[in-house]
Amino acid sequence: MQLSKSEEQLMQYLWKLERAFMKDLLDAFSDPKPATTTVATLLKRMKDKGFVDYKLYGKSREYYPLVKKTDYFSKHVNGLIKNFFNNSASQFASFFTSETNLSTSELEELKKIVDQQIKKQQ
């Protein structure tokens, strides 16, 4: 299940805040802020999709994420690799390193990360 762009933006705020009431979420948006009803609709859809839930305090709802940001991002990256790079991580890495104008220092940092992961798996 995926989030729409608007839902994803709201989810980013919720991941950052960890727990938030409607006012907190509205405050996170830059001007012009969306209408309260718009955010409420997005939250309902996100709850129906299983991404968020809430705890009631009287009439107020405190929302919290049910899906970790890393899990959501990982699923997207894996889908990207599967759909656009024939399920080949090396094709993805080749495209990423050659088409994103990374500096030599950024490439060196990526190399360190890969080398560290190789060591962990050995």
Q: Which residues pair with 55 in a beta bridge?
A: 62
Instruction: Say yes or no to pLDDT of 102 above 80.
Output: yes
67-78: per-residue pLDDT in tens?
999 999 998 888
Distance from C-alpha of 68 to C-alpha of 11, rounded to nearest angstrom: 10
CATH topology of domain 5-65: Arc Repressor Mutant, subunit A (1.10.10)
Query: What is the model's pLDDT at position 99?
Result: 85
Over 90: is that where the pLDDT of 97 sits? no
Name the CA dihedral angle for 42, 46, 52, 58, rounded to a multiple of 10 degrees. 50
- Tell me the pLDDT tens digit for each residue of 32-75: 999 999 999 999 999 999 999 999 999 999 999 999 999 999 98
Residue with tokens 């030599």, as numbered in its chain: 104
Tell me the mean pLDDT in the region 13-34. 95
Element (H, E) at 99: helix 89-99
Q: How would you classify the pairing of strands 52-57 and 60-65?
A: antiparallel
